[in-house]
């Protein structure tokens, strides 16, 4: 990691340290902002002591980041249009990264201070959309091309559907438990159990499931949310020290040849579907900042000229590495556009998806130290600042205090939902899934909801996206004006 700063001018080194600090601070805030939801139930139900719960949750977050992969990381990054991704090493590109991080940090701190279980994922995505739209406005391109709308719709669908899944599934689990374990102690609140039986802990198996499900949520949170920080750090590294990070310098000859061969096969696909693609993709290059989807042959020629007889990226100079990255991103975008052609067979679509995977095999990566840094920031953040949200989750959502069964149902639902989302590379909100799960469990148990708290959570959910968009767009505009 220390080789990062080798040969850097003092002002560039300072910018790099500041940028990395911003990302890690965001992940630190994400830790105590979101993971408070994961430990809220085990702390409130007195299944674990607070310090032990947050330590265990922090450890599970740490392990979740290490094992989470990179699918969610680059799902977030690719919300930005291709022209921003291939110009992130410019001053404007760096302003973009600072603006979206500052906006996300400001909103997260504000909602945490008010004790609202708002979503860090929601906030970050709003910030990314804001800088994308502001960039489009400032560069006088159509707003419709300011962000990757296809990816934005996918992410939006996952954010919208996951709370509904949490609401319904948690409610169903509570109803099943009520039917088959209706008189069990698991349906008592901690206060009721202490008053009636003089015990502050839940029954053994209930306590075991509460702890297990809480740690599952923490692990799933790390595997999903930690990847967002990894993607942001890679944007920073590519922007400030591109020579070493635009490509995975540890790529072997086989991986490099895979990317080269995928480019050649994509050109053949374009030649085969030339007429249909010409009609479908007319003018697409104007929306992609120079990535001309209709001139794939020229892009492939440039790429193969760079990669022919090159089995090691270290043999390329800094500009050549950047050119390889830019060409690979353009071709990946071309493959994505080609996959939208009507009448494609399932074999064609699978072929294009395989080509896209091969094209980005050396660009979508993260060094071990990046993953470890994010894991530590998220894990340590988990151990701080959890108190403000615990009370809201335990007592503020339902009219009655939360029972053991309700907490367990919400946590099982959250763990399953977030884990599956990470598996499929979709970013979801731990906060939204768990809060909606508790609400669903309360409704299913006829406990009623405190509408004032629900209203505040819904308002936070409703305003997080536009507020983060406005904040990041404003900060990006101010940064670009200051530069000029």
Residue 319 reports pLDDT greater than 60: yes
Could you read off the pLDDT of 100-119 as tens digits, one per residue? Answer: 888 888 888 887 777 666 67
444 CB-near residues (< 8 Å, 6+ apart): 170, 171, 172, 174, 175, 178
* Token pair listed for 286: 């104007």
Residue 290 reports pLDDT greater than 60: no
Instruction: Identify the residue whose tokens are 């202490």.
Output: 194
What is the predicted pLDDT for the residue at 385? 59
Instruction: Catalogue the E-assigned strands of 375-423.
Output: none
110-114, 182-186, 403-407: range with highest mean pLDDT: 403-407
- Burial of 63 per CB tally in 10 Å (0-12, 13-18, 19+): middle
Least confident of 103-107, 279-283, 335-339, 400-404: 279-283
Q: Are 172 and 165 a contacting pair, CB within 8 Å?
A: no
What is the predicted pLDDT for the residue at 48? 84
For the whole model, what pTM was predicted? 0.77
Instruction: Identify the residue whose tokens are 């003089």.
Output: 198
* Token pair listed for 20: 């990395």
Segment 360-368 shows an average pLDDT of 90
Segment 463-482 shows an average pLDDT of 86
Question: What is the distance between the alpha carbons of residues 26 and 469, in angstroms, rounded to a whole number?
Answer: 16
- 255 CB neighbour count, 10 Å cutoff: 17
Could you read off the pLDDT of 417-448 as tens digits, one per residue? Answer: 888 877 777 777 777 787 788 888 888 877 66
Segment 26-43 shows an average pLDDT of 75
What is the predicted pLDDT for the residue at 411? 83
Q: Which position has the higher pLDDT, 408 or 201?
A: 408
What is the predicted pLDDT for the residue at 118? 67
What is the predicted pLDDT for the residue at 354? 93
Least confident of 22-36, 116-130, 361-375, 446-460: 446-460
Q: Are 37 and 51 a contacting pair, CB within 8 Å?
A: no
Residue 401 reports pLDDT greater than 80: no
- CA 183 to the chain's CA centroid: 41
Average pLDDT, the chain: 79
441 CB-near residues (< 8 Å, 6+ apart): 170, 171, 173, 174, 402, 405, 406, 407, 409, 410
Q: Which position has the higher pLDDT, 218 or 7?
A: 218
Residue 366 reports pLDDT greater than 80: yes
What is the predicted pLDDT for the residue at 288? 44
């Amino acid at each position: 990691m220390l080789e990062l700063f080798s040969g850097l001018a003092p002002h560039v080194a300072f910018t790099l340290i500041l940028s990395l600090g911003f990302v890690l601070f965001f992940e630190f805030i994400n830790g105590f902002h979101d993971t408070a939801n994961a430990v809220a139930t085990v702390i409130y139900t007195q299944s674990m002591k607070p310090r032990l719960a947050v330590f265990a949750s922090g450890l599970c977050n740490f392990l979740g980041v290490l094992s989470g992969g990179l699918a969610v990381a680059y799902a977030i990054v690719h919300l930005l249009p291709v022209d921003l991704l291939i110009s992130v090493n410019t001053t404007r590109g760096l302003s973009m990264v600072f603006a979206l991080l500052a906006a996300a940090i400001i909103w997260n701190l504000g909602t945490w201070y008010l004790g609202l279980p708002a979503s860090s994922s929601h906030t970050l995505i709003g910030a990314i959309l804001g800088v994308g739209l502001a960039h489009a406005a400032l560069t006088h391109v159509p707003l419709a091309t300011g962000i990757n709308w296809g990816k934005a719709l996918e992410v939006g669908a996952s954010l919208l559907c996951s709370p509904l899944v949490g609401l319904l599934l948690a409610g169903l689990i509570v109803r099943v438990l009520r039917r088959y374990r209706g008189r069990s102690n698991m349906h008592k609140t901690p206060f009721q159990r202490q008053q009636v039986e003089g015990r502050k802990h839940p029954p053994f198996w209930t306590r075991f499931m509460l702890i297990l499900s809480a740690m599952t949520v923490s692990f799933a949170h790390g595997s999903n949310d930690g990847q967002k920080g990894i993607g942001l750090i890679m944007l920073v590294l590519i922007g400030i020290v591109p020579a070493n990070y635009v490509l995975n310098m540890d790529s072997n000859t086989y991986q490099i040849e895979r990317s080269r061969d995928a480019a050649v096969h994509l050109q053949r696909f374009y030649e085969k579907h030339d007429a249909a693609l010409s009609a479908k993709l007319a003018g697409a290059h104007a929306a992609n900042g120079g990535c001309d989807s209709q001139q794939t042959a020229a892009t492939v020629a440039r790429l193969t000229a760079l990669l022919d007889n090159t089995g090691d990226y270290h043999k390329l100079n800094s500009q050549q590495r950047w050119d390889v990255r830019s060409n690979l991103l353009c071709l990946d975008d071309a493959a994505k556009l080609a996959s939208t052609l009507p009448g494609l067979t399932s074999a064609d679509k699978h072929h294009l998806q395989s080509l896209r995977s091969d094209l980005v095999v050396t660009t979508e990566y993260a060094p071990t130290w990046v993953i470890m840094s994010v894991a530590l920031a998220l894990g340590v953040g988990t151990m701080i600042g959890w108190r403000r949200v615990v009370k809201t989750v335990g007592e503020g959502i339902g009219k009655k205090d939360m029972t053991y069964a309700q907490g367990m149902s919400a946590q099982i639902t959250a763990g399953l939902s977030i884990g599956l989302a990470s598996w499929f590379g979709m970013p979801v909100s731990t906060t939204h899934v768990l809060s909606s799960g508790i609400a669903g469990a309360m409704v299913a148990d006829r406990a009623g909801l405190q509408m004032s708290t629900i209203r505040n959570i819904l308002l936070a959910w409703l305003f997080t996206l536009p507020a983060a968009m406005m904040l990041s767009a404003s900060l990006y505009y101010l940064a670009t004006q200051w530069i000029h």
